[in-house]
Amino acid sequence: MRPPTGERTLREAIAAADRARDSESTAVMAAPVALARASSRFVLFGIASTQYAVPEAYVTELETVPRVTPVPHVPEWLRGVTNLRGDIVSVVDLRVYLGLSGFVTPTARLLVVRLLDEPFTTGLIVDAVDRIVAINPDDITPPASPLEGPLTPYLIGICSVGGRLVAVLDIDRLLRSPDLRQFEEPRSVEAAAADLH
């Protein structure tokens, strides 16, 4: 039975909320790349033999790897959650995400990163954090040949730092990816309905 004209079904209301959210996120997606290109300070970290850089603005903390509480029924790369000064943060092992062994090196660190426009934070286990460097945004260029791997969709480009090639990550896009966002609690029906008004 169809509702009277002018009234929406719950399914239609949720679909409308999803469309509104998707159109907003499409407009926001270009901003992080522009921010990364406009930024000059990047945090360098390593995983296996590859160096990566993320804009410093997205990094809130750098910690030794804390005790992580496993969570059942999640991919192996999601190590679990940890308590950082009262905040519960999910912990992603980037080695495992990249298909490497889950061995935590003695120099491993938890790089805590967050979105700039909404309260979403996660911890990334990396093999080592090198330093903060200044990178001229004009020096970030597309790779000479196509790259492969799980992080490829999240690369802005590459550059040279101290004679080594560094992959510059679009950390904003990674944090918004379906992989990392799939474990969030679904929005309530009331919140979706409130967005429509």
Q: The domain containing residue 30 runs over which residues?
A: 10-65+103-196
- Structural domain includes residue 120: yes
- Structural domain includes residue 93: no
Looking at residue 14, what is its pLDDT?
54
Looking at residue 27, what is its pLDDT?
42
At 143, which CATH number? 2.30.30.40
pTM of the shown model: 0.72
Looking at residue 34, what is its pLDDT?
54
- Structural domain includes residue 152: yes
Looking at residue 104, what is its pLDDT?
83
Q: What is the number of structural domains in the chain?
A: 1
Tens of each residue's pLDDT in the chain, 197 residues: 444 444 455 555 555 555 554 444 444 444 555 554 456 899 999 998 899 999 999 999 999 999 999 999 899 999 999 998 888 999 999 999 988 887 788 899 999 999 998 888 999 999 999 999 999 888 998 877 666 778 888 888 999 998 899 999 999 999 999 888 876 654 433 443 344 44
C-beta separation of 132 from 100 below 8 A: no
- Structural domain includes residue 54: yes
Looking at residue 19, what is its pLDDT?
57
C-beta separation of 45 from 51 below 8 A: yes
Looking at residue 100, what is its pLDDT?
87
Looking at residue 122, what is its pLDDT?
93
pLDDT, tens digit (0-9, with 9 covering 90-100), for 49-89: 899 999 999 999 999 999 999 999 899 999 999 998 888 99
